[in-house]
Chain A
Amino acid sequence: MTTTPIADRTTAVAARATDLSKIYGQGETQVVALDRVSVAFRQAEFTAIMGPSGSGKSTLMHCVAGLDTFSSGSVRIGDTELGSLKDKQLTKLRRDKIGFIFQAFNLLPTLTALENITLPMDIAGRKPDQQWLDTVIRMVGLADRLSHRPSQLSGGQQQRVAVARALAAKPDIIFGDEPTGNLDSRSGAEVLGFLRNSVRELQQTVVMVTHDPVAAAYADRVVFLADGRIVDEVYGPTADSVLDRMKQFDAKGRTS
């Protein structure tokens, strides 16, 4: 359990991007994917990043999560500046500080559910914190499925394994890339429920990229991206309010 005082929790920042730019190509064919984006993800907060296709929402997440390099600006996870890190250090950072949930579940078919959950600790050569592990497993309701292989689990169950994997290592921050994209609405709702619970009950920090307003409504805060820039921000969103915002962008996009 984290021992961060409650007072600090609202102000402490888990990850922060400052003037972050990502430019592909050069000269005529230059494409600006991120244009001086500054954003902070506070601890124990559930943030959704939204935006139309090509808005740069995935790129933003990849850069902040240390999966991709950026052209200029700075990214900090906790106190660590990512821009100066070599691949090896970045990998270590991802291993120890970051959790991931992918759209395509990305479990190893050769490992059991439990082995998949403890994989990040296995990689680090650490023993999992058994008490914490039990808490996580209980939360996602996988206690009776631990010895199953991914191929014996439904899509929803697989994604719950992935959520447990992300939580099990007690990362500073969890990034989700369309975590409900491959799930039916019921399973999706379950997974989102777990993520929200992990923030509420376990003080986990979660950042999720999505294009689904219903999914975004589970977050504490929604950041809207368009053309590589942050264009809006909503706290305490509902599916309807998010959908309205989206429609506005679409209309703007059409008229401009």
Chain B
Amino acid sequence: MFRTALRNVLAHKARLLMTVLAVMLGVAFVSGTLVFTNTISDAYQNSSAKGFDQVDVAVGAKYQEDKGDTLGKTPDLTRALLDQSAAVPGAASAIGVVNGFTAIADKDDKLIGGGFQSQGGNYWGDKDPRYPLKSGSAPHGKGEVAIDSETARRAGYKVGDTVRLSVDGPVLNPKISGIFTTDDGNVAAGGSLALFDTATAQKLFGKPGTYDEIDVKAKAGTSQSELKAALDEALPKGLTVATTGKELADDQARAIASSMSGLRQGLLVFAGIALFVGTFIIANTFTMLVAQRTKELALLRAVGASRRQVTRSVLIEAFVVGTAAGVTGLVAGVGIGAGLRSLMGTLGATVPDGPLVITPSTVAAALAVGIVITMLAAWLPGRRAAKIPPVAAMSSVHAQATTRSLVLRNTIGALFSAAGVAVVLAATTMSGSDGQAPMGLGAVLLIIGVFILTPLLSRPLIAATAPALRAFGVSGKLARQNSVRNPRRTAATASALMIGLTLITGMTVMAGSLQKSIDKMASAAVRADYVVSMANGNELSADVGEKLAATKGVTATSPLRNAPSRIDGETEYLTGVNGAAIGRLTDLKVDNGTFEVGGDKVVVDANTAKTHGWKAGSAFTVGFEDGKKQRLTVAGVYEGNELIRGIMLDLTTLAPHQKAADAADMQVMVKTSDGASGAAKDRLEKALGDNPAIKVQSKQDLSDDIAKMFTLMLNMLYGLLAMAVIVAVLGVINTLAMSVFERSQEIGMLRAIGLDRTGIKRMVRLESLVISLFGGVLGIGLGVFFGWAAGELIGTKMPTYELVLPWARMTVFLLLAATVGILAALWPARRAARLNMLTAIKSE
């Protein structure tokens, strides 16, 4: 039987090629994902392990827990502790580490890296073992900085250049004293690292005289754990924690692995979708191959092959196809993995170097996925093949597709769909996260239900195209009738396209609605012309607000300054604002009381008020950072949103309790005399020294930013979902090729009685178009439904949420479906038109 199966594979090369391609795409995506994530996480782990080479034991400060109305705090790691650490037995040396944020601008004043990995730190002494100097010398004083070689290379900086950088607000213009190499994982990932001498770093990062960490190096012969024990012994109890370098490296490796697993799972979901779509095509192909070979298989049965042998021959065929798909998919996947890595590189995220990692489990997964999926999909057709009676070999009638009643199928489909719709609708009435699981379940049920129902739906939906197809004369009429001739096949083909479009449409509806609502949220309550913030979401130093207030044309400013506090034994964040101006800068709805901030008068958002049981006139005690306590009165309760919420109090009330270095302004709101204009924005930016790390945004800029973020996200999703669409195209090609083959006699007759090649081509193309549009309409319909349902869930958490139907996009998707249809028909239509009339009309 094996030889027969193998011969069959070879006899239907073209058709099976489509099947192999369909499976291969899915397998390639799976193995590509595995190769990519393995490679990246290995590279990161290697680089982070190297990064901890210089650390045998790290000593950190131990956070003192919050108690009652007193906030906890982190003890300072002082010079004394450093000296003490260096002196313990077994310690060779100790380095005090200072970290912070430092943005570096390139020569065009643009921020290097995304801002999230712009790091600053200290260079220890004249020769820091952590950072070997490539050129130049150690930085000294405020006027000098050392930068990492990767950043220097990217921006084209060399020793002696002046560089613009910013720590938390004001621009600094130090000279580059040296360029060093580093294994730091963040730098490897595309960030930058700027180092100052220790005293400067401590001052810039707002922690004079203290360190973030003390790294201790062991003497030769002393193990990390021995050194850790010695440090635990020597240092004051309860204030510090010592961790060995190995533990740190392991922790980081674990963190990297877990952050990678999210990405991996996300990508694998898309691979799964592509494979799922692929199974339809495989099942379709094998069903058709079996139908086509009815006589041959019946002959095998007639000459004594058992049912099991017939099934097995089909499965062996599937095995061969699956193996081929698995192997080619694996090879393509390795290519995809390598491609993704370099793609990340070109997108600006530098990935640490490392060999491409192809683990045995990747290979096994690729092969298993290819083989198992193909064989599973071929299982039903195989069973059907075994049911062919031996007598079919004798009958001259070409076995037509079964016209078994669809009643049972429709009943099951209707039940599934109804259950799915019911569960989804029920889920929309639940709140937020409670509804997620039922909604997912409902969605799956509904999709399965619609799958099962597609043959039933195909008739009315395709019949609806009749008026449009009439314009194409007899070709249109025949195309319409051909497309409903085998409802099961049409359904399977259309379903493959449907899934992709359901997801694409659903995502688009959700993203569009979310974007609109976030946009509304961000700008609805804001009356300010500009919002100034740090590029990476870090805090601004207090003098940014002062500088803005002093700028010409500015009529009102207020920072939103975060400060932790203790209220009723809980940690609560306060927002310090300019009480005199905040009313002009925001437009918040006041539920009760008045919007008045000043002295001991504060305003509170409705949620916080509810938790504490406050209303206008309530008084409460707050414990500030410096341990002092004060009684405050609620003047009004306002409706907060995602951006502005919590307890707002006047800066003059808050500031005395904060160290200058702790003054952390998340944003500064600015109102100017002549509104948002290019000139005003220029003036504000100029006032801040054209700092690359600070963003000055008008409401429009904010909207654009949000839109950009969503567009980027959607484009990535589209890219991934394109896989499913490509697989669907292969499916349509396959189905059409099969239809053309099966109907060759008819096509020959049509040619003979006078339908020209154009007419034949048009007939095949229109059939393809009809099937694709059918799938497209179903997909878009389902997508809109899911988008709406998901929105109902989101809406419970986000009051500004409203459904936005992206009509333009949906039209594009429908056109995409049409394009899929036309593209897929190119080759089959050509084949049909070139069919040899004489052989086609000849009877068997």
Contact = CB atoms under 8 A, between A and B. Distances in A.
A124 B745 contact: no
Nearest to A107: B749
A253 interface: no
Contact of A95 (B745, B746, B754): B754
B841 A106 contact: yes
Contact of A67 (B481, B755, B757, B838): B838
Contacts of B481: 110-111
Interface in B712-763: 745-746, 748-757, 759
B601 interface: no
A110 B838 contact: no
A122 B473 contact: yes
A70 B749 CA distance: 20
Interface in A54-107: 62, 65, 67-68, 87-88, 91-92, 94-96, 98-100, 102-104, 106
Interface string B475-487: 0011001100100
Given A102-B749, A102-B843, A110-B478, A91 B755 contact: yes
Given A62-B838, A68-B838, A111-B481, A100 B753 contact: yes
A102 B485 CA distance: 23
B300 interface: no
B474 interface: yes
B837 interface: yes
Contacts of A92: 754, 756
Contacts of B838: 62, 67-68
Given A62-B838, A119-B474, A88 B756 contact: yes
Contact of B753 (A62, A111, A123): A123
A85 to B, nearest CB: 12
A182 B843 contact: yes
Nearest to A66: B752
Nearest to B475: A123
Nearest to A59: B838
A239 interface: no
A179 to B, nearest CB: 11
Contacts of B843: 102-104, 181-182
A165 interface: yes
Which of B481, B485, B754, B755: most chain A Cβ within 10 A? Answer: B754
Nearest to B840: A106
B93 to A, nearest CB: 88
A31 interface: no
Contacts of A109: 485
Size category of the A interface is: 20 to 34
Which of A87, A106, A177, A182: most chain B Cβ within 10 A? Answer: A106
Nearest to A93: B754
Contacts of A91: 751, 754-757
B352 to A, nearest CB: 62
A100 B478 CA distance: 20
Nearest to A89: B756
B751 A110 contact: no
B746 A94 contact: no
B751 A108 contact: no
A120 interface: yes
Contacts of A110: 478, 481-482, 485
A142 to B, nearest CB: 18
Contacts of B754: 91-92, 94-96, 98, 120, 123-124
Contacts of B759: 123
B242 to A, nearest CB: 82
Given A62-B838, A106-B841, A87 B474 contact: no
A125 interface: yes
Contacts of A106: 745-746, 748-749, 841
Nearest to A99: B753
A153 to B, nearest CB: 14
B477 A122 contact: yes
Size category of the B interface is: 20 to 34
Nearest to B755: A123
A164 B431 CA distance: 69
A165 B752 CA distance: 13
Nearest to B483: A110
A107 B482 CA distance: 14
A76 B838 CA distance: 20
A125 B755 contact: no
B745 A94 contact: no
Contacts of B750: 108, 123
Interface string B358-378: 000000000000000000000
Nearest to A106: B749
Contacts of A100: 749, 752-753
Contacts of A122: 473-474, 477
Nearest to A181: B843
Contacts of B753: 94-95, 99-100, 119-120, 123, 165
A206 B753 CA distance: 15
A67 B837 contact: yes
Interface string B23-35: 0000000000000
Nearest to B844: A104
A182 B478 CA distance: 26
Contacts of B756: 87-88, 91-92
A94 B844 CA distance: 24
Nearest to B474: A122
A108 to B, nearest CB: 6
Contact of B752 (A67, A88, A111, A125): A67
A104 B759 CA distance: 23
Contacts of A120: 753-754
A94 B482 contact: no
A108 B755 contact: no
Contacts of A177: 841
Contacts of A99: 753
Interface in B452-489: 473-474, 477-478, 481-482, 485
A125 B478 contact: no
A120 B752 CA distance: 10
Contacts of B473: 122-123, 125
A102 B752 CA distance: 10
A59 to B, nearest CB: 9
A108 B75 CA distance: 89
A241 B752 CA distance: 33
Interface in B168-206: none
A95 to B, nearest CB: 2
A88 B761 CA distance: 13
Nearest to B482: A110
A109 B745 CA distance: 12
B800 to A, nearest CB: 53
Which of A99, A122, A181: most chain B Cβ within 10 A? Answer: A122
Nearest to B485: A110
Contacts of B477: 122
A21 to B, nearest CB: 17
Contact of A87 (B478, B485, B746, B757): B757
Contacts of A62: 838
Contacts of B748: 106
A120 B754 CA distance: 7
Nearest to A166: B753
Nearest to A151: B400
A95 B749 CA distance: 11
A62 B842 CA distance: 11
A87 B838 CA distance: 14
A124 B759 CA distance: 11
Given A67-B838, A95-B754, 17 more contacts: A67-B752, A67-B837, A91-B755, A91-B757, A94-B754, A96-B754, A100-B753, A102-B841, A106-B749, A109-B485, A111-B481, A119-B474, A120-B754, A122-B473, A122-B474, A123-B753, A124-B754
15 contacts: A67-B838, A91-B754, A91-B755, A91-B756, A95-B755, A96-B754, A99-B753, A106-B746, A108-B478, A111-B481, A120-B753, A122-B474, A123-B750, A123-B759, A165-B753
Q: Which 7 A-B pairs have the closest CB atoms?
A: A95-B754, A104-B843, A110-B481, A106-B749, A91-B756, A122-B474, A94-B754
